[in-house]
A and B are shown apart, each in its own frame.
Chain A
Amino acid sequence: MYINSNGEQEVTYDAIVVGSGISGGWAAKELCEKGLKTLVLERGRNVRHVLDYPTAAQDPWDTKLRNRVPQDEIDKHYSKQSRTGYTIREASKHWFVKDDEHPYSEVKRFDWMRGYHVGGRSLMWGRQSYRLSDLDFEANAKEGIAVDWPIRYADIAPWYDYVERFAGISGQKEGLPQLPDGVFLPPMELNCVEKHVRARMREKFNDRILTIGRTAHLTKADPEIHGNRGSCQFRNRCIRGCPYGAYFSSNSATLPAAEATGNLTLRPDSIVQEVIYDPQTGKASGVRIMDSETRETHEYFSKVIFLCASTLGSTQILMQSKSDAFPTGMGNASGELGHNLMDHHFRCGASAQFDEFDDQYYKGRRPNGIYIPRFRNLDEATRMPDFIRGYGYQGGASRTNWMRGVAELEAGLGAKLKEALMQPGPWTMGLNGFGECLPYHENKIMLNEEVTDKFGMPTLTIDCEFKENEKNMRKDMMAAAAEILEAAGGKEVATYDSGSYPGLGIHEMGTARMGRDRRASVLNEWNAVHDVPNVFVTDGACMTSAACQNPSLTYMALTARAADYAAQQLKQGNL
């Protein structure tokens, strides 16, 4: 397809993009569409859209173990990747790295979920897509936390519009300043209980609402905009890869668009070892890679380089890019490279049962839930005494399935039990808070030369933890969820805190933050390395604060914005 692996030793391109996930796919599309000959380097194997989704149509009974992975195999290969509890299944394990081949070290528990292949985690992402607002961009400055974001909502808003239109975000406009509306495709429907809770919340609260999740699914495909992608079929098998191309991934959307320009060269199996710095020009001249199949190294050259190798991946490459000018890693004049690691904390909230609507059900497996946007610390009236920032709830209502039968006493055993379990069970609703984590300098990653991966490359040591502000927030995440469910008439309301370790949100952010001051940050307001103006980092590494919204949409917008800037600078001869 769009692979150039004919082994040319030294090739020069206009642009090199490292990584092909959400950010890399966008960088490739934008740079190619602006006429730049672009080389995309992906460390993992190639994945062809549709053709390489082998499990997409499997039913549970189609395989011997009905979607289970043998315990010994998990212990051997997926000891960390299995910590999510839902990803290492027969139908999706092939999207996750084997921990024994790609080790990392933990000073404190950190769950680093990775997928090394073309498309990266855009194939397995949760697809929830929310804008940040000035509440988020101004927070650090107002509260004196870390450093100020060098941009405001007005800088990124047009780019949110731009990426939403192409990616296709389904959602409902709500007019909330803390969660700006976007360019939305038709919203997915709430079910009976969710509609009921939404209505009751409108009656009982003036500070919080329930809306349908905003998600990167085509609910109304437009060939003019979305090309060959089709509308969502509500199978909820997204994590296996969508044969309809209904959810946004690099494979379904941005890479085909980049390829269509004729400017794209995609090179899988290419592990970038370092960015090469040229002290004469003060810029990067290219990258050095190892071909993971041949183990040979190659150098590629370009005028501009986009690092989109994932938050920790991009920072690791910068750390490995040592030179006389940057003895501790490219762009680390500030000493902040590798620091201020963040993730969202979650697995904390409440659930309840709803007795009404026993005669109601739904059709389709909606790959989306509800969202209750942040309602804490928006202003003086919503100020909380024990924590700053806030959280949003994700969750939803559904009818329980047959597994409720294990604890079923009334129906006993036998025919009565069997017949009961063939009917849908009671309605339950869960609210799961996703909370902001502050940027702490001491939450960091370090290059570990002692432990190497199967390619002999250094690995990472991660030292990260949630602290007081997050812990205090979690108490409120439980209490407010129970308050909402009780106000809505839920029965048997129960709070929970299942514990949350950084990484498990799979929203790792920071380690090469943007900032105004080159002495305190790694990247400038255009996502360029302060001291190396032709190297851009546009994935989660750039985040100056975490907000509480799912971050991928922001990476898309920042990437498109930075690509536009880079192309302009190239045209003007500045890079």
Chain B
Amino acid sequence: MNRREALKYTTITLGAALSATTTAAILQGCTAEPGSDWIPGTLSPTQAEALAAMAETILPATDDSPGARDVHVHRFIDTLLTDWANDETRQEWMEGFQALHQELTGKTKDPAFNKLSAEDQEAALRAINERALSGAPNTATDSFFLELKGQVIGGYFSSKEVGMNILAYDPVPGEYLGCIPVEEVGKAWSLR
């Protein structure tokens, strides 16, 4: 049962008989993010939480700017899987993710990347990043990792918060200046 179906089921069969508090508690067990009402469309709550942790490790929050989790990169990727991908793409992604996840955690049963320490999360992802980019034998997991890394980077930098408030945002430039000191802009332009 996916999250959407679970919600539907809960609402239809139990909703009328339960108090609002009880319903929220039931749903909580099904959502990926405790305290939020977001329900993934394709990922399981465990997968979503693991993905969010990977994305945050790739692009973490710092004093100056939000991290991948803050701008909901994992939700965007779940939306792509649910509403953009066709069945084949979705299945390939899920298989790739599972294989990557297992490799990162060293477990085949109940792996939970997000349960590793921050240091271990970073070390595991760094190792695979270096391997994938070093020109060594390119495994399916390496390829998937680079695909995922692209989705995280793309999802982060195309988010509203980063696009409008972190990068240099200029929806109507009004002019083209071909040569200006980079300090005058400060950051990369958000729109292409």
Contact = CB atoms under 8 A, between A and B. Distances in A.
B175 A364 contact: yes
B83 interface: yes
Contacts of B153: 402-403, 405-406, 421
Nearest to B169: A59
A366 B175 CA distance: 8
A359 to B, nearest CB: 5
A361 B178 CA distance: 7
A71 B175 contact: no
B31 interface: no
B58 A414 contact: yes
A467 to B, nearest CB: 36
A365 B60 contact: no
B163 A72 contact: no
Contacts of A413: 57-58, 122, 125-126, 129
B160 A61 contact: yes
Interface stretch (A1-9, A190-198, A510-518): A190-198
Interface in B80-133: 80, 83-86, 89, 122, 125-126, 129-130, 133
Contact of B172 (A75, A235, A402, A403): A235
Contacts of A409: 129-130, 133-134
A192 B169 CA distance: 21
B96 to A, nearest CB: 15
Contacts of B185: 361, 363, 424
Contact of A235 (B80, B149, B167, B171): B171
B188 A362 contact: no
A413 B191 CA distance: 23
B36 interface: no
Contact of A422 (B171, B177, B180, B188): B188
Given A401-B192, A409-B130, A424-B188, A360 B177 contact: no
A235 B173 contact: yes
* Interface-centre pick from B84, B133, B183, B187 (highest chain A CB count, 10 A): B84
B150 interface: yes
Contacts of B83: 64-65, 70
B36 to A, nearest CB: 18
B154 interface: yes
Contacts of A59: 160, 163-164, 171, 191
Contacts of A61: 158-160, 163-164
A14 B179 CA distance: 53
Contacts of B149: 405-406
A234 B181 contact: no
A57 interface: yes
A60 B158 contact: yes
B84 A424 contact: no
A100 to B, nearest CB: 16
Contact of B179 (A360, A366, A406, A425): A360
Contacts of A364: 170, 173-177
B5 interface: no
Given A65-B83, A191-B179, A413-B129, A421 B188 contact: yes
Interface residues of A, number: 54
B182 interface: yes
A519 interface: no
A363 B125 CA distance: 36
Contacts of B180: 360-363
Contacts of B157: 401-402, 421
Contacts of B7: none
Given A65-B83, A413-B122, A422-B167, A363 B129 contact: no
B188 A423 contact: yes
Interface in A482-501: none
A414 B65 CA distance: 12
A299 interface: no
A155 to B, nearest CB: 36
Interface string A431-450: 00000000000000000000
A566 interface: no
A70 B134 CA distance: 33
Most chain A Cβ neighbours within 10 Å, of B64, B133, B163, B176: B176
A64 to B, nearest CB: 6
Most buried by A among B129, B166, B184: B129
Given A189-B178, A233-B173, A417 B84 contact: no
A415 interface: yes
A65 B173 contact: no
A195 B178 contact: yes
Interface in A348-386: 357-366
A169 B64 CA distance: 44
A412 interface: yes
A71 B84 contact: yes
A68 B134 CA distance: 31
Contact of B60 (A234, A362, A406, A418): A418
B192 to A, nearest CB: 6
Given A359-B181, A361-B180, A417 B59 contact: yes
A407 interface: yes
A191 B177 CA distance: 8
Interface of A: 57, 59-61, 64-66, 68, 70-72, 75, 188-192, 194-195, 233-236, 357-366, 399, 401-403, 405-409, 412-415, 417-419, 421-425
27 contacts: A59-B164, A61-B159, A65-B80, A65-B84, A71-B89, A194-B178, A233-B172, A233-B173, A233-B174, A234-B175, A236-B192, A361-B181, A361-B182, A362-B177, A364-B170, A364-B173, A364-B175, A365-B192, A413-B126, A414-B57, A418-B60, A421-B157, A422-B65, A422-B167, A422-B187, A423-B188, A424-B182
Given A65-B83, A418-B60, 19 more contacts: A60-B191, A61-B158, A65-B79, A189-B178, A189-B179, A195-B179, A234-B174, A236-B192, A362-B177, A362-B179, A365-B189, A365-B191, A365-B192, A401-B188, A401-B189, A405-B153, A412-B126, A422-B188, A424-B182
